[in-house]
Amino acid sequence: MTSTLRTFRAFTASLLSSTKWHSPLCQRCGYASNSSSPRWLARQSRDPYTKEAKLRQYKSRAAFKLLFINDEYKIFRQGQTVVDLGFAPGSWSQVAIDRVSPGGRVIGLDIIPAVPPTGVSTFQGNFLSPSVQKMLRDYLSDPNRGRPKEIKADKAYIDMEREETEKEEQHVDAGRRVDVVLSDMCDPWPQSGGGLFKRSLTNPYNRMMNTSGTAIRDHAGSMDLCNAALLFALDILKAGGHFVCKFYQGGEDKELEKRLKKVFKSVHRVKPDSSRKESKECYFVALRMDSSATRGAIADMPHQQRINI
């Protein structure tokens, strides 16, 4: 090994070890599934869902997880408003906008920059920030924002149905205009300085990871994100709305399931076929939120909160 190469590797190691990340969504410990790993790349090249995602022009194989959930529980219909938390690289938003069109809208949020899928409105920001959540609420308060502009012509049935729905909404809490909240949030790779590479923007899937390699850390982080997403969903979901969140299995997920059952009429624990068997990844699908559901309904239920919500 040349002295130049040794010097470069030592410099790189010192740079990575000295980098500090303050956002709860950006803190990682380990790089268990680095996308540059030959083993990871080999697995991706053999994976049938990855191949099918490319054929269908989905941004990642994760699209098939949401397709599976929708096939089983029919969470989408035309004209709905959907919020996709942790949308990057955008495959869930692609599935959602396809299912709620025409007349529907999908609003995505992620901490990392990503090119929005066609027809989807997106924001970049840390979901755990109160100011970011307020920005989302303000955007959602106008029922027409994020919907495609319509060419005036004879009214179709879907148009008349949506107008009737909007009239009904005037008599309910103006903040509750969302039909489905999706949360596929997980920690992104931290960027080590020098800005973002071009491919980071056009294909953020290349720099995302599912786990840190430490099971208890991944589980605890996913519980925090799921609980934060649930509280936000209770503020914006209509009565009868649905909530889907990804989590990593562990000691606290039963408590989260109890919290969900307190405010939704039906809760299911789902592991789609496209989720790798060796992964601890799983999903809660909570259907038909109670009309009386509020944050207060679960305030007295135990939860080891590690982040400010």
Tell me the catalytic residues: 246
Residue 64, CA distances (Å) to 54, 74, 84, 288 in order:
12, 14, 16, 23
The residues near 152 (Cβ < 8 Å, ≥ 6 apart) are none
Q: What does each C-alpha distance from 103 to 117, 149, 255 come to in angstroms?
A: 16, 9, 37
Asked if residue 61 lies in contact with residue 51, where contact means CB atoms within 8 angstroms, the answer is no
Cβ 53 vs Cβ 60: under 8 Å: yes
Contacts of 2 (CB under 8 A, 6+ apart): none
SS3 (DSSP) at 178: strand
Distance between CA 115 and CA 99 in Å, rounded? 20
Residues in the chain: 309
DSSP for residue 23: S
What's the CA gap between 159 and 169, in Å, rounded? 15
Can you tell me which residue has the tokens 């956002």?
A: 23
Q: How far apart are CA 275 and CA 49, in angstroms?
A: 10
In a 13 Å sphere around the CA of 65, the CA atoms on its Cβ side amount to 25
Which 3-state string (H, E, C) describes 67-87? HHHHHHHCCCCCCCEEEEECC
Pairing relation of β-strands 281-289 and 237-248? antiparallel
